[in-house]
Amino acid sequence: MAETIRIQDIARHVGQEVRLQGWLHNRTDKGKLQFLQVRDGTGFVQCVVFKKEIPEEVFEAARRLTQESSLIITGVVRQDRRAPGVPGGYELGVTDLQVLQLAQDYPIQPKEHGVEFLMDHRHLWVRSQRQWAVLRVRATVIRAIRDWLDDHGFVNMDTPILTPAACEGTTTLFETDYFGEPAYLAQSGQLYNEANIYAFGRVYCFGPTFRAEKSKTRRHLTEFWMVEPEIAFCDLDQLMEFEEQFVSYIVRTCLEERAYELALLGRDTGPLERVVPPFPRISYDEALQMLAQIRQEMEDEELRELLKIEWGDDFGSPHETELTKRFEKPVFVYGYPTEAKAFYMEPWPGRPEVTKSVDLLAPEGYGEIIGGSERISDPDLLLERLRDWGLPEESFGWYVDLRRYGSVVHSGFGLGVERTVTWICGLDHLRETISFPRMLKRVYP
């Protein structure tokens, strides 16, 4: 019997008869010829059914196949440069076909559907070629993240999901009932990793994080995946060096391993090829000046209004979009105002109104993919900040403790997986970068 193979390996079987197990993606009827687009999870391949070459009942079975029917298909692998699907051009000359289940009225047709319809059918939408490509890039991004960190001496720590207090502001907390007491879904694992560095030096956590984002934007999920490295004996400058090496590696890995998927998505990879260290670094103050300049030259009244910003404000999406359109590489913006950022950030020497913080903004209008900073290492200053921010000291006792027993300069950052994948794939909304997105108005399916 013919060997069962996966489509991704088809190039190794030219001239052989093989079996594929998969689903019908699409079918074109040309009378005596049927072109079946078959997918098996690892790829898509064209299978050609020629009436003259197979028994009548097999040809009829092929003709009756409906979209998404499951099947086992046997045939001889041929190389044909023009064949769609597998890179390099391979197709199957069908010799036999077994239908496992004939799918009835598959709701997603090869026509345009509205986004809400597709989101309601996300459990089926993930089968489309485009979603397949995006989610495979995501998997590669995640593997590249782990590989780079593991290879650079970072130890993986799993930080809690149920937490007693806020890390990134109290307005986006999801509250749960923890045996009669409130507990919150983690917004970040950072605070715990600040403890872990004192045992391991360099650590990272990588998991889902939760924020009750009340705004409906293209850049916010309520459940998203974040990798958070934390590094002992590391200041803000050293942090930026880590980040640019890390991000460049992730992008390069996708270019090398996911060229086919990026091509399917129509991604112009030119801008991604330019993602090599060093990345430009500008201060918040310089960014503000650039924005003022951009506004002056802008004709669009409405956008000019949106881009208004005062010293002290954090950037919104429009600011980041306009700024990063002017850069060829990801750009570091450092030194954000204290009032715009989190309580734990080390102040700028001699400028207490500024923090030793840095965001990394992706080019081409994508904006923030990383937020990070040097952390406060002095216990008294930290206590002062907790009070200024109105945070409950009793919940942070352990965190202040870390500054009492061998405190050192340390820094860390968080990279959002979905934002990174959105940028690398060249998408305009992050909802397609996770298999089942959670957003303000969506927890189904």
Q: Which residue is at the shortest CB distance from Mg ion?
A: 371
Note whether 110 and 130 are within 8 A (CB): no
Among 145, 221, 250, 421, binds ligand 4AD (CB under 6 A): 221
- Residue 45 is encoded by which pair of tokens? 């391949």
Q: What is the largest CA-CA distance in the chain?
A: 85
Among 40, 168, 243, 322, binds ligand 4AD (CB under 6 A): 168
Stretch that binds ligand 4AD, among 29-37, 109-117, 157-165, 363-371 (CB under 6 A): 363-371
For residue 434, give the DSSP letter. Answer: S
* Cα–Cα nearest to 101, from 58, 49, 64, 75: 64
Beta-bridge partners for 333 = 282, 359
Stretch that binds Mg ion, among 175-183, 335-343, 364-372, 379-387 (CB under 5 A): 364-372
When asked if residue 330 is in the footprint of Mg ion (CB under 5 A), the reply is no
Separation between Cα atoms, residue 146 and residue 108, nearest integer Å: 35
- Residue 73 backbone zone (phi > 0: left; psi -120 to 50: alpha; other: beta): beta
Among 27, 136, 211, 385, binds ligand 4AD (CB under 6 A): 211
Separation between Cα atoms, residue 173 and residue 184, nearest integer Å: 6
- Of 132 and 204, CB closest to ligand 4AD: 204
Closest approach of ligand 4AD to the CB of residue 144, in Å: 16
- Residue 440 is encoded by which pair of tokens? 């303000």
Closest approach of ligand 4AD to the CB of residue 323, in Å: 15
Note whether 66 and 104 are within 8 A (CB): yes
For residue 280, give the DSSP letter. Answer: P
Residue 168 interacts with, from Mg ion, ligand 4AD, none (CB under 5-8 Å by kind): ligand 4AD
> How do 331-334 and 357-362 pair as beta strands?
antiparallel
For residue 356, give the DSSP letter. Answer: S
Count of residues that bind Mg ion according to CB under 5 A: 1
When asked if residue 243 is in the footprint of ligand 4AD (CB under 6 A), the reply is no
Separation between Cα atoms, residue 178 and residue 221, nearest integer Å: 24
48-73 in b/e form (b: 16+ CB < 10 A) is: bbeeeebeeebbebbeebebbbebeb
Among 371, 372, 412, 416, binds Mg ion (CB under 5 A): 371
Task: Tell which positions 33-72 bind ligand 4AD, by CB under 6 A.
Answer: none
- Of 22 and 416, CB closest to Mg ion: 416
- Of 136 and 211, CB closest to ligand 4AD: 211
Stretch that binds ligand 4AD, among 177-185, 307-315, 368-376, 433-441 (CB under 6 A): 368-376
Task: Tell which positions 415-434 bind ligand 4AD, by CB under 6 A.
Answer: 416, 418-419
The binding site for ligand 4AD (CB under 6 A) comprises 167-168, 188, 190, 211, 213, 220-221, 224, 226, 228, 368-372, 412-414, 416, 418-419
The binding site for Mg ion (CB under 5 A) comprises 371
